[in-house]
C-alpha cells in the first residue's frame, strides 16, 4: 500500500473529521452519509498503515500521522484554489479572487484600503474575514486566507512580511476621569484603576498584560470584552480605562467622548504588517493587493495628535 493512491475525497474526510470532532459532523459538512465518511477513513488508514484518529473526551482527534495528512489536505485545497484563480485569469473569466484576513483592530482602516484598491481594480473579488490575533494566525496556518493584516507577525511558521505603517497604543478614559488633566502620570498610579480587557488570544490583551508586567502596575481587572467597540462604550460609561489601538479611538478622541491619558512611556509604538506564509504562492491579484497595502496602506491610517 502507498499514500500515492490516497484520494482527495479520503483526505477531505479526514480533515473534516478532525475539524468537527466526529464522523457524523464531518458527514454533514461534506454533504455525504456517515458510513461514506467512515469508509474513506478506513481506506486512508489502510494506505497509511498507521492510526490516523483516536478517541478523546471531546471527540475524535488526530494522531501525529493524522495531523500530517490533514495538513496535506489543506495544502492541496489551497493549491487547487490557486489553480482555479490562475485558470480563470487565463480564460479571461475574472481578474482574480483574494482572501484577506484582518485582526479586529485593523478593521478601522483596512476597508478603506480595500475600497481604494477596488476602484482601481474592479474585476478583483475580495473576501474579507475579521478575527482576533489567534483566529487570524490560524487562518494563515491553514491556508484559509492569502495574507493577513495584523500587528506582530506569528513565529510558529515561516512568514513573509511587509510594513504598512506605525501602530500606536494608548490608554483611554472618559473625559471627566480624575487623571484626564494630569500630565506625566507614572504607570504605577494606574494600580488604583480598573482596566477593561480584550479576550485571551487578542493582540491588544497581550500588549496590555505586558505593559502592566513591565511597569509593575497592579490595577483591578474589570470586564473581559471581545469587541473594541464595546470596550469604548464601557470606558465612556465610566466602567474603567483601557489600553487600545489609537486607530480604534481616533473619532472618539476628536469629538471629546474619550481622552488619552498622559502616561509616562506611552504611546506604545508598534507596526502594522501584511503577512503571508512564506510557502504560499500568491496569484497576480493577491500579489497586487499585497503590494498596494504595503505601498499605500500607511496613508489610510488615522493620525494620532499628541498635545505638547
* Domains of the chain, residue spans: 3-73, 75-165+271-300, 166-270
CATH fold of 3-73 reads Arc Repressor Mutant, subunit A (1.10.10)
**Residues 6+ away with beta carbon under 8 Å from 143:** 74, 75, 77, 78, 277, 280
**Residue owning grid cell 482596566:** 195
Cβ atoms 131, 101 nearer than 8 A: yes
Dump pLDDT digits (tens) for 179-230. 999 999 999 999 999 999 999 989 999 999 999 999 999 999 999 999 999 9
For domain 75-165+271-300, give the CATH number: 3.40.190.10
Domains 75-165+271-300 and 166-270 in one fold: yes
pLDDT of 84 reads: 74
Mean pLDDT over the full length of the chain: 90
pLDDT of 1 reads: 57
Could you list the pLDDT tens digit for every one of the 308 residues in the chain?
578 888 889 888 998 898 888 999 988 988 899 889 899 989 888 888 888 888 887 788 889 888 889 888 888 888 887 777 767 665 543 568 899 999 999 999 999 999 999 998 888 999 999 999 999 999 999 999 999 999 999 998 999 999 999 999 999 999 999 999 999 999 999 999 999 999 998 999 999 999 999 999 999 999 999 999 999 999 999 999 999 999 999 999 999 999 999 999 999 999 999 999 998 888 888 999 999 999 999 999 988 765 54
Class of domain 166-270: alpha beta
Cβ atoms 41, 13 nearer than 8 A: yes
Proportion of the chain above pLDDT 70, given as a percent: 95
Burial class (CB in 10 A: 0-12, 13-18, 19+), 53: buried
Amino acid at each position: 500500500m502507498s499514500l500515492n493512491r490516497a484520494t482527495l475525497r479520503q483526505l477531505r474526510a479526514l480533515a473534516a473529521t478532525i475539524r468537527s470532532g466526529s464522523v457524523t459532523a464531518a458527514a454533514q459538512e461534506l454533504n455525504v452519509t456517515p458510513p461514506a465518511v467512515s469508509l474513506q477513513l478506513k481506506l486512508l488508514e489502510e494506505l497509511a498503515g498507521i492510526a490516523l484518529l483516536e478517541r478523546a473526551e471531546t471527540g475524535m482527534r488526530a494522531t501525529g500521522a493524522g495531523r500530517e495528512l490533514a495538513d496535506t489536505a489543506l495544502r492541496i485545497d489551497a493549491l487547487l484554489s490557486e489553480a482555479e484563480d490562475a485558470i480563470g485569469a487565463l480564460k479571461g473569466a475574472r481578474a482574480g479572487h483574494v482572501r484577506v484576513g484582518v485582526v479586529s483592530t485593523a478593521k478601522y482602516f483596512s476597508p478603506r484600503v480595500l475600497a481604494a484598491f477596488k476602484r482601481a481594480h474592479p474585476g478583483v473579488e475580495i473576501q474579507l474575514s475579521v478575527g482576533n490575533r489567534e483566529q487570524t494566525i490560524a487562518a494563515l496556518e491553514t491556508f484559509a486566507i492569502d495574507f493577513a493584516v495584523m500587528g506582530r507577525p506569528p513565529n510558529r511558521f515561516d512568514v513573509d512580511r511587509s510594513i504598512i505603517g506605525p501602530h500606536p497604543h494608548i490608554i483611554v478614559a472618559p473625559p471627566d476621569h480624575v487623571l484626564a488633566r494630569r500630565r506625566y502620570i507614572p504607570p504605577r498610579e494606574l494600580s488604583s484603576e480598573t482596566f477593561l480587557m480584550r479576550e485571551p488570544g487578542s493582540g491588544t490583551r497581550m500588549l496590555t498584560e505586558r505593559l502592566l508586567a513591565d511597569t509593575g502596575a497592579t490595577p483591578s481587572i474589570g470586564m473581559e470584552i471581545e469587541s473594541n467597540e464595546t470596550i469604548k462604550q464601557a470606558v465612556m460609561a465610566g466602567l474603567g480605562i483601557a489600553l487600545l489601538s489609537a486607530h480604534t479611538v481616533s473619532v472618539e478622541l476628536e469629538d471629546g467622548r474619550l481622552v488619552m491619558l498622559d502616561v509616562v512611556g506611552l504611546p506604545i509604538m508598534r507596526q502594522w504588517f501584511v503577512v503571508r506564509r512564506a510557502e504560499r504562492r500568491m496569484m497576480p491579484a493577491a500579489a497586487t493587493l499585497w503590494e498596494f497595502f504595503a505601498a499605500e496602506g500607511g496613508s489610510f491610517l488615522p493620525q494620532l495628535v499628541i498635545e505638547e
